[in-house]
Each structure stands twice: as structure tokens, then as C-alpha cells.
Chain A
Amino acid sequence: MLEITALSRTYGNVRALEAVSLSVAPGEFVGVIGRSGAGKSTLLRLINRLVEPSSGEISFNGETVSALSGRELRDWRRRCAMIFQQFNLIDRLSVLDNVLVGRVAMLPRWRSWTMAWPVADRVVAIEALERLGISEHALKRADQLSGGQQQRVAIARALVQEPQLILADEPVASLDPHSTRTVMDSLARINREDGLTVLCNLHHLDLAREYCRRVIGVAAGRVVFDGPIEALDAATIRMIYGEDEA
């Protein structure tokens, strides 16, 4: 159970996120929708603690994760795997090595320094790649893959973190329609098969309609809608996306 209470983040005078409160039950697939710059990305980054909250609290299964630091913070980051719009892979490493980056928090320091990964971890990484249908490319350099393939590598990296929560920040915004489908299907399948909670930022409403039972609408840093997708009416959509885009 992820619980967020009165979470705010300001940059100078700009309020990126203001007094956001919400809770997500285990196994949910939640879509976060809104215009670009509405604060969706800040919300997900706050949860992973890539961004520090200005005020408010985040807790997970009763543990206050917004107060963690050091080793505990790193373990929390491992537990809430992040997927980025631009994949954020390391171009010059092989696909396999990129996936194994997801195991760093579980391995001793010398393993990551020498990149001498244990066979057991390699097996876990390969199985994750097989699940996403890209194990054939395991030894290629990450930048030699197409965008859709790279995003699936990023999902595999998230999987081997053995997370309890997946945060996907606009995972398909830089992809073509075909890749969009394979990536979203992969996320949906992981949510279904592993019972992993997924929080997914989406710019397009159509995708949210197709994949998410529940959506959270963010506009100007505030949550303006939170409920089942069917309850989303034209007036709310206008509120979320503004007059011009609705």
C-alpha cells in the first residue's frame, strides 16, 4: 500500500506539485494523466526520491520512505523501480550489463566495480530479457537497439530489481505506435502476472483508457481527478488538459 499525504514540491517560486494526497493498493495499474509540465513527472520522481519533497510524506506498507537516507534510501529505490521516457540506459554497455545494473543494490561493491556478475544474477537477467522477448540481443550494445527494444531492456532492468512498485515516467512518449503497444503490453502483463503495482505517467488519454482501470488527473501541480476511468467526463478532461486540447 503506497500512501502519499500532502506532498508538495516547489522550485523557487514555482509550485511543481502542491498538497497531493493519494493511496495506491497493491496490484493496481494506475495511470497518471495530464499536460506536459503538470507535475506528473515530479510526482513519480518524488516517490523514487530522485527529487526531494518540500513538504509532505510518502509511506509504503507503513514505512515512511520520504525520511529514508543512505543504505535504506537505496534499498527503497531498488524496491520502486523506475522506467524513463528516454530509457536512460548506458549506451556503451551491453544489454545484459544494462539489465544487471538493476542488481547493484543487492550485490557487494567489488562485483559492480569489476562488473564480474555472479552466474545466478546473470540467469535472472536473461530470464527477464526472455520474458520481454529480447534475449537474442543480450550481448549487443544497448545503443544498437531500436527505441522500443531499449525501453524493454529498461523494463527488464526494473524487473531484476525485484521491485514492489514500478514507476513508469512517460514510457512510450518517444516511441512509434507499434513499439508503444509492445511496451504497454509488457507493463500490463507484468502487472497481471506478478501482481506488481504500476504507476504510469501517460500523456495520451487513449492509452490510459485502454490500459488503466484507475486514473489520476494532474493539472498545475494538483490532483484534480482520482477514480475509475469510466467516471472521467468531458468537463474533467477539459480541466486536466485545458480548453485547447480537449
Chain B
Amino acid sequence: MLPQRQAHIEAFASRHPGTVYPLAGPLWTRRLFWSGFLICFFAASIHLGLSFERFWRGLGDLGVIMRQMWPPTHHGFWREYIGALGETLAMAFLGTLAASLISLPLGFLGARNVVKSWPIHFGLRRALDVVRGVDTLVWALIFVSVVGLGPFAGILAIALNDTGVLAKIYAEAIENIDRRSSEAVRAAGGTEADVARLAIFPQVFPVLIANSLYFFEANTRSATILGVVGAGGIGYFLADRIRVNAWSDVAFIILLILPTVAVIDILSRWLRGLAQGRQRNAVMR
């Protein structure tokens, strides 16, 4: 480089640090972050006993399983499998329905603009946090030991966990609604019950429908595995056939589950689209 040009560049570099030479601070922060991240990742992997050697060996076993999965068969149990699948859908449906019905009043109680006393909604929200913090599968395990094996335990588990999530969503939806309409109802001499029914409910209803459908979709997925702990549905057969290494049956069951979940997804997306379409029309009007 020409000395004159060199001097010019050095002058520019001192006037605008970070242009010609990268700043040492951010550079080292970045290097430190990424090396720290890598160290954490590998340390965690070693701590958990992950190793390539185990991975390759397991992959071989997995290959054996895969080969035995083909062709998928039902060994004459297809009626039981289809029935269990229906049970799975029923569990998801009833669980979601129950959760939607329970969480709506709880949502009102948990909303700061409806219930003014803070101990109520604070207590309620913490209780909901706890309910939500325990996974559906754990609730299912608990309900199995309370009401016994079968789909009823699964329904209760889905209903309880979803109530925790849905009530929080509804409470937040209610808190975020347009308050002018509530004031209008109050100004017209309406009681608090009138406000809830006439001003808040119509605004929250589309949120409710969309969420319930969305949760039905998600619950169909989780209901397929509740049977693993004995809470009804197709998961029981799945876990059992894996236990006895009936791999072709396992493949058959998985091939039953996948399209069912896909169909429910499409159906729910379509219905949600309908609900949202109505909502959009309402805005346009």
C-alpha cells in the first residue's frame, strides 16, 4: 500500500473505530460466547452419556426394527385399533370441551378488569400456573391412580391441563378487549353481569372458538400417547406392542395415527378459518 494511502486509512480508522479493524470488544465477546456455548453443549452431551459409538450401535438396532416393521399388519386386531383411535379422538374432544367450559368463567374471574380484588385473581392465576406447570401425561398418571385405568383418566387429565392454559389465555383476552363497549353498557344502566354478557363475551367469543379448536388439534396429538400410562386411547396398544416387540403392529398403529392427526389438523384449520372469517366480517361491518 502506498504510504500516503496508508496514512489516510489509519486516520480514518482512528476517526471511525470498528471500520477498518474490527473492534476488539465485540469480537472477543462473540468468540467467548460461541466457545462457551460449544463447551456447555459438549459437556452436557458427555454428562448425559451421549456418544457416537452408542449412537451407531443403536442405529443398527433401529434398522433391525425398521425392517421388521414392514409390512405393517394388524394380526386381526384392527377393530381394537380403530376403536382405540376413536377413543383417542373422544378423549381429546371431551377434554377440550370440558376445559373450554370450565376456563371461560375462570377467565372472567382471573381478569383484572372484571374482578377488582387482587387476591382473587392473584390466587387464581398462581393456581392455574401450578395446574399448567404439570404436564398432561403426569396428570394422566395421577388420575389413573385416582379413578383407575381407562379413557376417563385421560379426559380428566386433558381437561385439567388445558383449563390451566385456556383460562390464562381468556383472562388475558378479556383484559385486552376494547373497554369502550363495557363503558357503553355501564352507561346504559347495565349491571356487571350485563357488561360481561353484552360487552365482553361477544369480543372474547372468537378467541374462545379459535383457541378451543387449536387445543383440540393439539390434544389429539397428546391423547395418542396418554395410553402409554394407561389413560385410554391408542397409546395403550402402541406401548404394549412395543413392549412385546410386535414391530409390524407398531408400524400399523403409527400409520393409523399419522393420517388421523393430519385430518384433524386440516379440519381444525378449516373451522378456525371459518371462525376468523366471521370475525373479520364483523370488523368490516
A139 touches which of B9, B12, B18 (Cβ 8 Å): B18
The docked-state distance in angstroms from the alpha carbon of A135 to that of B11 is: 13
Q: Are A123 and B20 in contact, CB atoms less than 8 angstroms apart?
A: yes
Residue of B nearest to A136 (CB): B16
Q: What's the least CB distance linking B252 to chain A, in Å?
A: 45
Q: Are A139 and B16 in contact, CB atoms less than 8 angstroms apart?
A: yes
Size band of the interface chain A makes with B: 10 to 19
Q: Are B18 and A119 in contact, CB atoms less than 8 angstroms apart?
A: no
User: Secondary structure of the A side of the interface?
Assistant: helix
Q: What's the least CB distance linking A95 to chain B, in Å?
A: 10
The docked-state distance in angstroms from the alpha carbon of A123 to that of B21 is: 9
Q: Which residues of B contact A136 (CB under 8 A)?
A: 16
Size band of the interface chain B makes with A: under 10
Q: What's the least CB distance linking B29 to chain A, in Å?
A: 15
Q: Are A119 and B19 in contact, CB atoms less than 8 angstroms apart?
A: no
- Say yes or no: is A93 at the interface (Cβ < 8 Å to chain B): no
Q: Which residues of A contact B21 (CB under 8 A)?
A: 119, 122
Q: List 7 A-B contacts (CB under 8 A).
A: A122-B19, A123-B20, A126-B12, A126-B20, A127-B9, A135-B16, A136-B16
The docked-state distance in angstroms from the alpha carbon of A138 to that of B20 is: 10
Q: Are A139 and B19 in contact, CB atoms less than 8 angstroms apart?
A: yes
The docked-state distance in angstroms from the alpha carbon of A96 to that of B1 is: 21
Q: Which residues of A contact B19 (CB under 8 A)?
A: 96, 122, 126, 135, 138-139
Residue of B nearest to A130 (CB): B12
**Could you give, for residues 12-52 of chain A, a 1 whenever the CB lies within 8 Å of some chain B CB and a 0 otherwise?**
00000000000000000000000000000000000000000
Q: Are B20 and A135 in contact, CB atoms less than 8 angstroms apart?
A: no
Q: What's the least CB distance linking A2 to chain B, in Å?
A: 32
Q: What's the least CB distance linking B8 to chain A, in Å?
A: 9
The docked-state distance in angstroms from the alpha carbon of A139 to that of B26 is: 13
The docked-state distance in angstroms from the alpha carbon of A128 to that of B173 is: 53
Which A135-184 residues have C-beta < 8 A from chain B?
Answer: 135-136, 138-139
The docked-state distance in angstroms from the alpha carbon of A136 to that of B16 is: 8
Which B217-250 residues have C-beta < 8 A from chain A?
Answer: none
Q: Which residues of B contact A127 (CB under 8 A)?
A: 9
Q: Which of B1, B16, B21 has the most CB of A within 10 A?
A: B16
A130-B12, A138-B16, A138-B19 given; 5 more Cβ-contact pairs under 8 Å: A96-B19, A119-B21, A127-B9, A135-B12, A135-B19
**Could you give, for residues 151-179 of chain B, a 1 whenever the CB lies within 8 Å of some chain A CB and a 0 otherwise?**
00000000000000000000000000000
**Could you give, for residues 91-130 of chain A, a 1 whenever the CB lies within 8 Å of some chain B CB and a 0 otherwise?**
0000010000000000000000000100100110011001
